[in-house]
Amino acid sequence: MKQCTHTHTHTQKCLDDTKTLRSGEDVDIILTRLREVKAFQRFPPPLLLQICACAFYECLEKGITLFRQGDIGTSWYAVLSGSLDVKVSETANHQDAVTICTLGIGTAFGESILDNTPRHATIVSRETSELLRIEQREFKSLWEKYRHSLAGLLAPPYGAMESGSNNDKETSDDTQAGKVLRNAILSRAPHMIRDRKYHLKTYRQCCVGTELVDWLVLQSACVLTRSHAVGMWQALLEEGVLNHVDQELGFQDKYLFYRFLDDEEEDTPLPSEEEKRESEEELPETILFLAQIGPDALLRMILRKSPGQRTGDDLEIIYDELLHIKALAHLSNTVKRELASVVIFESHAKAGTVLFNQGEEGTSWYIIQKGSVNVVIYGKGVVCTLHEGDDFGKLALVTDSPRAASIVLREDNCHFLRVDKEDFNRILRDVEANTVRLKEHEQAVLVLEKSPRASTLGSIKYTVISGTPEKILEHFLETMRMDIHHNPAVDDFVLMHCVFMPNSQLYLCIIFVFIFNIVFTYHAASPPGSEQERLEYAHNSKRRVLILVLRWANTHTYLLQEEPAAISFLEELYGSLSNDSRMLRALKDLVPDLEKIVKLQYVSQLLHKTLIRQFSNGEERLQKKQPIRNQDDILLKVYCSDQTYTTIRVAVAATGREVISAVADKLGTTEELLLIHLSSSGDKQILKPNDVSVFSAVSINGRLFACPRDQLNSLTPLPDQEGPSAGSMSTFELMSSKDLAYQMTMFDWELFSCVHEHELLYHTFGCQSFRRTKANLDLFLRRFNQVQLWVVTEVCLCGQLSKRVQLLKKFIKIAAHCREFKNLNSFFAIIMGMSNPAVSRLSQTWEKLPTKFKKFYAEFESMMDPSRNHRSYRLTVTKLEPPIIPFMPLLLKDMTFTHEGNKTFIDNMVNFEKMRIIANTIRQVRHCRSQPFNPEICQPNKNQAEVRGYVRKLCVIDNQRALTQLSYRLEPRRT
């Protein structure tokens, strides 16, 4: 079975080890990975430890068949990442198999090994997927000991239907939250709960909706918006802890009356002073709890409204939810917006409820929002289980075929998003009716969609869905509004054209329009008849071209200097304009801008010298960062198997092949060499010959080696790759936390400012396609890892318990200041460092941390909550004004999600809908940098130079196994 590249390298290595050779540290690393998977979080620790001891790791590339229907099973599996298709055939021919569902993260399958029955279905990897595998003998042993726990993960007849014990806990949490908030209001603002009169009727002991929202927003920074607060109160309303006086189901930010459950009875006693004090202490944690469940409650409330009652804000909230559902990734944004108006919330309370039966007519499509269901086929029983985020039933909407299986609730309190067949088909019909296809020689060359929002002039507005590159450009030049400064559609084209239309092709098209006066009129009115009118038409056409070129040049900035053809193109354009006096007069407002760009590129070419950069030299980090460019050179140290090294000078964008060639020339060898990235833990990665800018992908303590293949196994890390042997707390404990955060923010801003927008595209689509470096982006991402590991390294090298507690306090303070400076990159890096297993397992240290700091940390951790596609983080960012240093890994994840879920070309035309979504994500980066960073946000102290030097040269251990071993020396495992 072919192994795939694995991001959790340490987990894979531990699981690949022979079971008898696994150390306590190995088990701990595996345990941490399993706890990241929601389905394993319910298992008792002894069961998890035994799974860690006996399980194996498997990785399937896309399209690999794990086993076939009818095979006799030998192993049980659980999905750690990726997804797999479940295919069932009613004949013996596997080619007749129909995909009935998809298994996602946390799904377990293969329990037929308990009674040696044949496999009920064929399992094929839908994408690169990581699996945990337990062999039959070990699984039977685990089943005998932990039948009840494992039954929760398995499907009937082996697994019992789950009861609502978790729901009971949530209900009790909500009830307690209601008590805490009521007592806090009576303590802080007792006037809010009182008898109120409305239309001659008295409503006893109630609050006003707007006042409850006002009060909650003022209590904590966790409450991000008024709608967020509405969701938090709605969560209490759903559980009956808060009630509308007329029993309406939705909480509203209006002058409506609500009453706490404790005030329903007359003469309810007021809380005692002791109860008020306890509520004050519990209030931050209570608000944090409600802040986490509030967004889901708000979404449920909106989805319960009939489509006609949904406001514009409601539709935006639903649309945002749909954007991040993988099952919908292939649909256009127009379709998603239409779905937002018709999608229905459906919930069922009891396990065992049948949603629909095999053979029935398909009437709805479902997406699981919460809970899980079993897929049951007659004569075969349960063939798989589907979890949160999985979808089912869509095939019946598209093909009018009967249901291929029955769907049965596997646990209590399951929530679904449902789209009914009539609505789904209507949306597809409407989209088709509003679609215009332009053809040439019987081939579609441009697909446009009527925009649901009419333009301000009342004319029909079209949105480009797909097309050939030339026709998309023609459309934008024909329809560009010249009376508005910002045109998002043109901006999308300018930003994304490098993906589907190289510059050389763009130059040619623009020259045709501008110089040779070829005007495209495939759906515009013909040029009017008089000479003056024709001249005006030509002026407008050239004006549009110039506007597009200026936007293009401003977007590419210094990248133009790396292309002689770009300079020639701009000069030719400027020359053509200068030689036409009538045109020069008509476009005189744009000429200075074009002239300025041409001169700037010419001067930059003369002045810009090739730079020599040596990134292993720490002193260079003290200099103000400048963008790394393709034409720069770099000095690289490349080591040999005997740990000597040679220094070579290569272009920044040099490929692996070019680096190897330079090494071979320097060493004077004709042997065939491999280029290896060797990590500090000894992991070896053979770099590919066409990998671009190989130096920027080297890990923090990693090194590049070149050797013949027969010396590969003899490579060992250099001594200096191990990292520091003593912490630096004695140095930075005397530095102000605010000064440290400020200097970290200054350095992060320099790195972030160097990242060109196109580097995000190179990262998403692959550098090889562009032959361009993304070194600036790689260095920014590496800084995130470095700060994260700095936290772990310092804690694990601190042998004194009291000092470790001081360290945790220091890091929490630094994180707080980073958030204050809107440096979310370092803020998240510090919090993720503190949640690293080598730190989080130090229970004695955490127990000594003061309660105040524990609460701060819990609040910070809640911002990292990945649920609902990191909704907590996204809401936080929307409240911030630029400049902002964003959490870059999440932005890249969004772009990758869009890229992998949508084809770049459809029917030989560019999928411009995909380009638009990715461009919107890149514009978030542009927004973060739309205001300059103000260096005066912090008044510098005398030792600023020392602080600056320290934060730019952090020394870390980047070997997770070494960090875990250090952690165990500090606090051995408790028996």
**Helices and strands, counts by H and E, the chain:** 35, 31
The more confidently predicted of residues 861 and 581 is 861
Encoding tokens for residue 687?
């770099």
The pLDDT tens digits of the residues spanning 572-618 come to 888 887 777 777 777 888 888 888 888 776 666 555 555 655 554 44
pLDDT in tens, 408-434: 998 888 999 999 999 988 888 888 788
Distance CA 179, CA 174 (A): 9
Mean pLDDT check: name the lowest of 343-357, 458-472, 719-733.
Answer: 458-472
Model confidence at 691: pLDDT above 50: yes
> Rounded mean pLDDT of 47-65?
86
Which region among 67-71, 315-319, 867-871 has the lowest average model confidence (pLDDT)? 867-871
Band of residue 541 on the pLDDT scale cut at 50, 70, 90: confident
Rounded CA separation 704/366 (Å): 50
CB crowding 19-29: b at 16 or more within 10 Å, else e: eeebeebbbbb
Q: At residue 778, does pLDDT exceed 80?
A: yes
Query: Are β-strands 373-377 and 381-386 bridged in parallel, bridged antiparallel, or unpaired?
Result: antiparallel
With pLDDT > 90 as the criterion, what percentage of the chain qualifies?
Answer: 40
- pLDDT attached to residue 620: 47
pLDDT at residue 212 tops 80? yes
Say what the pLDDT of residue 181 is. Answer: 94
Q: Of 62 and 810, which is predicted with more confidence?
A: 810
Rounded to an integer, the average pLDDT of 498-503 is: 93
| pLDDT for 1 | 41
The model's confidence at residue 307, banded by pLDDT at 50, 70 and 90, is confident
Question: How many CA atoms, within 13 angstroms, populate the side-chain half-sphere of residue 330?
Answer: 4
Confidence of residue 153 (pLDDT cuts 50, 70, 90): low
Tens of pLDDT, residue by residue over 737-761, are: 999 999 999 999 999 999 999 999 9
Q: Helix axis angle, 226-238 relative to 273-304, nearest 10°?
A: 100
Mean pLDDT, range 348-370, rounded to an integer: 89
Q: For residue 603, what pLDDT is reported?
A: 61
pLDDT score of 456: 44
Q: What are residue 108's DSSP bridge partners? A: 78
Please check whether residue 189 is in contact with residue 294, taking contact to mean a CB–CB distance below 8 angstroms: no
Average pLDDT, the chain: 84
Q: Report whether pLDDT(787) > 90.
A: yes
Residue 405: which of 98, 681, 165, 39 has the closest Cα? 98
- At 659, the pLDDT band (50, 70, 90 cuts) reads very high
Q: In what order do the strands lie in the sheet with 108-109?
A: 56-60, 129-135, 75-81, 108-109
Other C-beta atoms lying within 10 Å of the C-beta of residue 148? 10
Q: What pLDDT, on a 0 to 100 scale, did the predictor assign at position 887?
A: 94
Write out the two tokens for 470: 């030339």
* Amino acid (1-letter code) at residue 826: S
pLDDT at residue 789 is higher than 90:
yes
Name the residue with higher pLDDT: 516 or 264: 264
The count of other CB atoms within 10 Å of the CB of residue 543 is 17
Q: Which of 795, 815, 816 is nearest to 806 (CA)?
A: 795
What's the pLDDT tens digit per position in 831-847?
999 999 899 999 999 99
The pLDDT tens digits of the residues spanning 544-562 come to 888 899 999 888 887 877 7
Q: 784 or 611: whose pLDDT is higher?
A: 784
| Mean per-residue pLDDT, 8-14 | 59
Distance from C-alpha of 21 to C-alpha of 8, rounded to nearest angstrom: 20
Long-range contacts of 927-933 (CB under 8 A, 24+ apart): 927/882, 927/884, 928/752, 928/882, 928/883, 928/884, 928/885, 928/886, 929/752, 929/753, 929/882, 929/883, 930/882, 930/883, 931/881, 931/882, 931/883, 932/883, 933/745, 933/746, 933/749, 933/753, 933/883
Q: What is the pLDDT of residues 276-289, one digit of tens each?
A: 888 888 898 899 88
pLDDT-based confidence at 788, cuts 50/70/90?
very high
Confidence of residue 152 (pLDDT cuts 50, 70, 90): low
| pLDDT of 87 | 84
Q: Say if residue 163's pLDDT is above 60.
A: no
Q: What's the chain's length in residues?
A: 975
3-class secondary structure per residue, 462-483: EEEEEECHHHHHHHHHHHCCCC
Q: 431, 339 in Cβ contact below 8 A?
A: no
pLDDT value at position 162?
43
Give the whole-angstrom CA distance, residue 457 versus residue 86: 52
Q: How confident is the model at residue 882 (pLDDT cuts 50, 70, 90)?
A: very high
* Top-confidence residue, 271 or 885: 885
pLDDT bracket for residue 157 (50, 70, 90): very low
Q: What is the tens place of the pLDDT at every residue in 216-249?
A: 999 987 888 899 999 999 999 988 899 998 877 7
pLDDT for the residue numbered 623: 60
Predicted local distance difference test score (pLDDT) of residue 522: 38
- Is 205 in contact with 193 (CB distance < 8 Å)? yes
More confident residue, 934 or 724: 724
How confident is the model over 296-305, as a mean pLDDT?
90
CB 565 within 8 A of CB 636: no
Helix runs in 146-272, H state only: 147-151, 165-188, 209-219, 226-238
Token pair in block for residue 395? 């095939």
In the predicted structure, residue 566 carries a pLDDT above the cut 70:
yes
- Of the given ranges (48-52, 523-527, 704-708), which has the lowest mean pLDDT? 523-527
Instruction: Take residue 446 and report the two structure tokens written for it.
Output: 């441009």
Checking DSSP bridges between strand 84-88 and strand 122-125, what pairing results, if any?
Answer: antiparallel
**639 φ/ψ angles, rounded to the nearest 5 degrees:** -95, 155
Q: What is the pLDDT of residue 19?
A: 53
The single residue listed with the structure tokens 């759906």 is 523
| 4 and 59 Cβ atoms separated by less than 8 Å | yes
pLDDT per position as a tens digit, 103-112: 777 778 888 8
**Cα(469)–Cα(333) distance, rounded to whole angstroms?**
21
**pLDDT at position 200, please?**
82
Please report the domains of the chain, with CATH numbers, ordered by start residue: 1-151 (2.60.120.10), 173-293 (1.10.10.10), 312-424 (2.60.120.10), 441-603 (1.20.870.10), 611-721 (3.10.20.90), 728-970 (1.10.840.10)
Residue 940 pLDDT grade (very low, low, confident, very high; cuts 50, 70, 90): low
Distance CA 160, CA 964 (A): 38
Structure-block tokens of residue 871: 């909704």
The answer to whether the Cα torsion of 538, 540, 544, 547 is positive or negative is positive
For residue 576, give both structure tokens.
């053509």
Q: What is the pLDDT of residues 819-834, one digit of tens each?
A: 999 999 999 999 999 9
- CB hemisphere CA count around 90 (13 angstroms): 6
Which residue in this structure is represented by tokens 């000429």?
A: 591
Angle at 610 between CA 609 and CA 615, to 5 degrees: 130
pLDDT score, position 18: 55
pLDDT for the residue numbered 172: 65
